[in-house]
Structure 1
Amino acid sequence: MNTQFIKASLFAAGLLLVSTSFAQNKNDLKNWPSGYAPLEVGKRIAAHFIATPHTNFGRPTPPKVITYPESCTWYGALKFAGASRDKELLGQLAKRFEPFFGPEAKLIPVPDHVDYSVFGSVPLQLYIQTKEQKYLDLGKGIADKQWGPPEGPRVVAASHEFYKQGLTWQTRLWIDDMFMITALQNQAYLATGEIKYIDRAAKEMVVYLDSLQKPNGLFYHAPTAPFYWGRGNGWMAAGMAELLGSLPKNHPERARIMKGYQMMMASLLKHQAEDGMWRQLVDDAESWKESSSTGMFTYAMITGVKKGWLDAKTYGPAARKAWIALVGYIDGNDEVKDVCEGTNKNTSRQFYLDRKRLTGDLHGQAPILWSAAALLQ
């Protein structure tokens, strides 16, 4: 037989094998190229978090209280420690928390706003993993205060109206809330087994879905901010994924929340960029690719595929591509690039497009840890 023909046949067979392998693995959420394994990436980001002092939204001055990006990153690092069965990491995260029972007690935020109350998810997750009563007492107290009578300087007239409807008085109908509120109440449910906590979260989520989700599956930032801001939608996506992961299968609100979640995931699939990223304004092709929203969407999509809420053949490739793209935004210092700065609601498209792109902001670190944990589960 002709030698050149044999070589050509072997080369063609090799190409076919590679092509077939890629086709089989494009929705694979277990096997990763070198440098992209969730265990490796999660350890890097968690170690960086532990080495980082308490932060104040990138300002050079220390914070007066723990900010919500730190709370969400801490919670993510704990979830990753649990998923990776890393007792050493868990111990380091608990050690970082210990000063709050002593000299750093003043850094515990007063839970009179969703951004402050989400701090409670950290001690509750510490309790879930360690069973130390002091964590439960602190976290449960914050969760109960969120549904207690309106109190403090942040109370407005609407607070009382929401409270009368059985919602938290901290309700404000910003989509960011649907991680901040539901994560805390969900953790209280997992820590105590008391159904009232998951009922609270589910009722709140349905009100936000009915009030803010649009027919295309996405969410305005707020009723007066008619833009599909990336990270705002990311908080919503992550919040629904978190809640559905704990919500009992026979819960009366589960079907409504699942419908809202699946509508959103279908829309995100359409708006994902070719490289796997999502944008600062989700539906705006002229807006820049943003890492924190991509991280949150990645987490929500991975969770849906893993738990069977989303078709693996359809969403698996998107989730895999998103994770690979996201890891590419981690720099040599284990910090995440192109993170949108903190954003108040606004009525101007240009306002959202002009937001600063930060490196190292914890808004970007947190969802990488959530996603790494989800991939390991």
Structure 2
Amino acid sequence: MMYRIFAGLTPIALAIAGTSAALADDGAPLPLSADQSCGRVVPEWKVPALSDPLAASAEEIGCAVAAWQLAAKEDMSYLGEKVPESSYGRGWVKAAFYIGLDRFAARMGERHLLARVRQYSYENGLELGDRPWHGDDQAVAAVYGAIAVRDKKPEMLSKSIEVFDHIIAQNYTNSLEFTEPTVAGKEGDCQKRWCWADAIFMAPPAWALASQVSGDPRYVDYAASETRAVIEYLQDPKSGLMFRDSRYFEARTPNGKPVFWSRGNGWVFAGLARFIEALPKDHPERPLMVATFRTLADRLVTLQRTDGYWPTSLMDPELLTNPETSGTAFFGFGLAWGLNNGLLKGPQYEAARNKAWDAMRKATTDSGKVGWVQQIGKDPQSTDAGTSQLYAAGGLLLFASEMLQPGT
């Protein structure tokens, strides 16, 4: 193992193993155990967890990133801005991390981390965000839904389904044009529907899980119909990439290039992978989702930089030249998932996945912090080695879950 061991229980150990932090299904404390998955990989959750991130396995990277981010969630001083938005329990920022954590922990069979996912869900009261009709505030339902399916507890999703029923009954048919808001505090008047690219990650997988849990196809049908609308409205027919929203149809970078945001397309690519996974095999909209996923994959492998990262501005690589890891994590996950599930085949995808994995390991510190992350935004912005965010950790955990060796 590539790990240093130091005496004394660290904040990471307390974050993972504390009685209030790790609970079994019945609420009993889970004691720290040397034979539990991440306890073997990061012995007693000591830091620094990784002696050589570039040589670390997916199991090692995932455990270290999960441990660092869980410890850091109580102290967000590492964030330079938008701390309230990042610390909000039912919001999309934390939800994106827990979506990745849940998938990685489930693949590992890591009981302590799965207990942390359950704890997070119950701390939220199993509620959606404050804007229940808004796609971003529906992302957290995917965490509840994953637990409901795995633990056979459909009640975990009952509050979300109640809101979804209301949304279906409202039958919003407004345009997807992202007009300036008429109400203070809102970003755009179109957002009672999914009128921005990020929403494909945030909402459709949760709706598909609602159908799995309830047996009612209305939820996955609604999600598929609205996802089709987003694709048809925001996908650029020339490049195959997705505009973030309609405000970018005619926008240009200072270099005169069209604006295609890396993380925005990463949300779409990773979101489609998760949605396709949850769709019934015979769903009539599945072919469109698969075709869109493959179109993006074909384009993305041509845009990857030689160092494994994707440009922050996909069609203007000279605009911002520092690494950016949130987009790269989601692209890497999508490529790995596509290869593992037979939707992508060929050395070009394997090479892109492997370069992305090396890039993400390089951007991870020996303590498990993911660096070079663009902060909350809607278009390409700068990064540096110290910038981090929960959604990048979540993206890397998604990626690591697909890079685990078979049988892990």
TM bucket by the smaller chain?
Answer: 0.7 to 0.9
Residue aligning to 2:37: none
Matches of 1:241 and 1:106, distance apart in 2: 25
Instruction: Give distance in 2, aligned partners of 1:60 and 1:320.
Output: 33
Q: What is the deviation of 1:278?
A: 0.5
Q: Name the Cα RMSD after superposition.
A: 2.9
The equivalent of 1:93 in structure 2 is 117
Q: Residue 232 of structure 1: which of 264, 277, 285 is its match?
A: 264
Aligned equivalent of 1:219: 242
Instruction: Tell me, yes or no, if the aligned pair for 2:301 and 2:349 is still in contact at 8 Å.
Output: yes
Seen in structure 2, the aligned counterparts of structure 1 residues 64 and 372 have a Cα distance that, compared at 3 Å, is: closer
> 1 CA distance for matches of 2:345 and 2:154?
40
* Distance in 2 between residues matched to 1:216 and 1:64, nearest whole Å: 36
Contact 1:143 1:184 in 2 (8 A): no
Distance 1:332 1:113 in 2: 37
> Shift of residue 77 of structure 1?
0.7
Question: Contact 1:173/1:222 (CA < 8 Å) preserved in 2?
Answer: yes
Counterpart residue number, 2:26: none
The amino acid of 2:286's aligned partner reads R
Which residue type is aligned with residue 367 of structure 1?
A: G
**Other-structure match for 1:123:** 144
CA distance in 1, matches of 2:64, 2:345: 31
Among candidates 71, 94, 101, match of residue 95 of structure 2:
71
2:334 corresponds to: 300
Deviations 1:179-238 (A, max 9, x none): 112122122233334322222222122111111111211111112214100100111111
Deviation at 1:353, TM superposition (A): 4.3
Report if the CA contact (8 A) 2:91-2:129 is conserved: no
1:344 deviation in Å? 3.5
Pairwise mapping of residues 325-344 of structure 1 onto structure 2 (< 5 A)? 325-344=359-378
Q: Cα distance, 1:160 vs. partner? A: 4.6
Which is higher, the Rg of structure 1 or of structure 2?
1
Question: Aligned pair 1:46/2:69, yes or no?
Answer: no
Q: C-alpha separation between the residues in 1 aligned to 2:146 and 2:267?
A: 19
How far off its partner does 1:162 sit? 6.0
- Match in the other structure for 1:268: 300
Is 1:319 matched with 2:343? no
Distance 1:181 1:311, change over 3 A: same
Query: For residue 305 of structure 1, what is the amino acid of its counterpart?
Result: L
Q: How does 1:115-194 map to 2 (within 5 A)?
A: 115-149=136-170, 159-161=172-174, 170-194=192-216
CA contact (8 A) 1:100 1:108 kept: no
1:255 aligned partner:
287
Normalising by the residue count of structure 2, what TM-score does the alignment of the two structures yield?
0.72
Q: Determine helix, strand or coil for the equivalent of 1:360.
A: coil
Aligned length, in residue pairs: 325
Change (3 A) 1:42 1:354: closer
Q: Contact 2:54–2:358 at 8 Å: present in 1 too?
A: no
Deviations 1:302-355 (A, max 9, x none): 11111111113231121111111112111233221111111136xxxxxx3457
Contact 1:216 1:263 in 2 (8 A): no
Q: Distance in 1 between matches of 2:362 and 2:279?
A: 33
Amino acid corresponding to residue 242 of structure 1 in structure 2? R
**Where does the alignment leave 5 or more consecutive residues of structure 2 unmatched?**
1-52, 177-189, 252-258
Distance change >3 Å, CA 44–CA 265, structure 1 → 2: same
CA contact (8 A) 1:179 1:236 kept: yes
Structure 1 gap ranges (5+): 1-32, 151-158, 346-351
* Aligned AA (2:196): W
CA contact (8 A) 1:212 1:220 kept: yes
Q: 1:13 matched to which residue of 2? A: none
Give the percent of matched residue pairs that are identical in Structure 1 and Structure 2: 24
Distance 1:73 1:355, change over 3 A: same
Task: Give the structure-1-normalised TM-score.
Answer: 0.77
SS at match of 1:147: helix
SS in 2 for 1:224: helix
Query: In structure 2, what residue type is equivalent to 1:375?
Result: M
* CA distances 1:53-90 after superposition (whole Å, capped 9, x unpaired): 36887545584553211011112111111111122321
The alpha-carbon distance between structure 1 residues 54 and 74, as it changes in their structure 2 partners (threshold 3 A), is farther
- 2:227 counterpart of 1:205: yes
Separation (CA, whole Å) in 2 of partners of 1:44 and 1:192: 35
Distance 1:55 1:309, change over 3 A: farther
2:357 maps to amino acid: W
The structure with the greater share of residues assigned to helix is 1
